[in-house]
Amino acid sequence: MSLLIRGAHQLATPIGDSTRRGGDFGRLAIAPRAVIRCEGTDVVFVGDAAEQELKFPPPQQILDAAGGCVIPAFVDPHTHPVWAGSREQEFNRRLAGESYMEIARSGGGINATVQATRAASFETLLDGTLTRLDTFLEHGTTTVEAKSGYGLDLATEVKMLEVIAAAQRAHPVDLHPTCLAAHEVPIEHRDDPERWVNALVEEIHPSIARRGLAEAVDVFCEDGVFDIEQTRRLLADAEAFGWRIHLHADELTPLGGTELAVEFKALSADHLMCITDRGIAALAESETIGVLLPGTSFFLRSDYAPARKMVEAGCAVALATDCNPGSSPTESMPTILALATLEMGLTIEEALTAATLNAAAAIGRASELGSIEEGKRADLAILSGASYHHLVYHYGVNPIRHVVKSGKVVVKDGIRVSR
Ligand SMILES: [Zn+2]
């Protein structure tokens, strides 16, 4: 199948097959009126319309960008997209002044979602996940890292990861499954958290690895959840399964999770609202990517990660939604880009790179995804606006008009093309 995208006012993309940082971070290739030709799943030509006509036979399908801007589709490198129940009642409590931690201690928070997710059937979880994946796709995201972590027992963690595997078979969005059984200490282990760490190391992680349900591991390294030594033990154990590492690090307290992630050569250290100067220095020296989640700061009305300081220090930075029912219930990367620019001080160019090429690097896929170049996967989004500035300028609405995934039009005029 060949597809030609023509009629664009502009194409805007980072260039390369690895993480962009320093002076390269905000450097986009901007091509006015470029056409893009896809063959099968890949991009085979980017450039001048007349040259394309000379080089190739007429395409089987044409997508008219109608004066819009073409960008790489988003990669979302940190999400929790499988859950049951809803926590909108906590929203009012937070507006009235209760903190996220106070609500968690009174039976809300992660454990409320754990109870609902344990009770939910496989079909209910799969339905909810597929609906969310449609929303991701309609907002221009074609690849999503997907964590478990609302089971906190072997059966439910396996159920969540099997839902992710089933969603992958049923939906065009690419899913990268991460085992986050170490998301929290479940209520039944609160009297002896060490017993839960032992269960993770001895039973739950090996069992999930044997089933081949995850490609990475994540741990919520935080005061009152898993301390540095417990996290170190969990990661050392998980490394033996060949799992890559993501880490919830330095989110609520400056515990040193960033330095630990660097020590383990993690793909990413995530959140980083409380990253220290030492953490920034360690991250800047490493290949580990700082995944920033401004949606969570916005929604919890807390501090943002020091993005500008990290970028100036030479850290590689990516952006993600953290899509989850408690602290960031959104699938929209354009919303995240608006927050990254308006609240964290990234330029639009940096934010676009952070949400595409660097986000692909944060899940180990930068050689195939995250930019529009010959030989890369044909995962593209077309904005209604004429330039990439419309991504954040026209805020609070969906700026995405069409989405192409692996060379196929999957969203047309804002509507999901039926399978
Ligand atoms: Zn998270």
Domains of the chain: 2-72+368-416 (2.30.40.10), 75-361 (3.20.20.140)
The H-assigned helical ranges of 212-356 are: 228-239, 257-263, 277-284, 294-300, 307-313, 333-342, 348-355
Q: Bridge partners of 62? A: 4
Where would I find the beta strands (DSSP E) of 266-414? 268-271, 289-292, 317-319, 380-383, 400-405, 408-412
Q: Which residues surround ligand 1, an ion (CB under 5 A)?
A: 322
Q: What is the pLDDT of residue 311?
A: 98
Cα separation, 333 vs 331, in Å, equals 7
pLDDT for position 419: 61
CA torsion, ordered 58, 12, 139, 68, to nearest 10 deg: -60
pTM above 0.85, yes or no: yes
Residues of the chain with pLDDT under 50: none
Task: Tell me, in angstroms, the distance from the centre of ligand 1 to residue 322's CA.
Answer: 5
Ligand 1 centroid–CA 79 distance in Å is 6
| Distance (Å) from CA 320 to ligand 1 centroid | 9
**Tokens found for residue 364:** 């180990």
Label residue 371 left, alpha or beta by phi (over 0 means left) and psi (-120 to 50 means alpha): beta
CA of 247 to the centre of ligand 1 (A): 9
Ligand 1 centroid to residue 80 C-alpha, Å: 6
C-alpha of residue 249 to centroid of ligand 1, in Å: 10
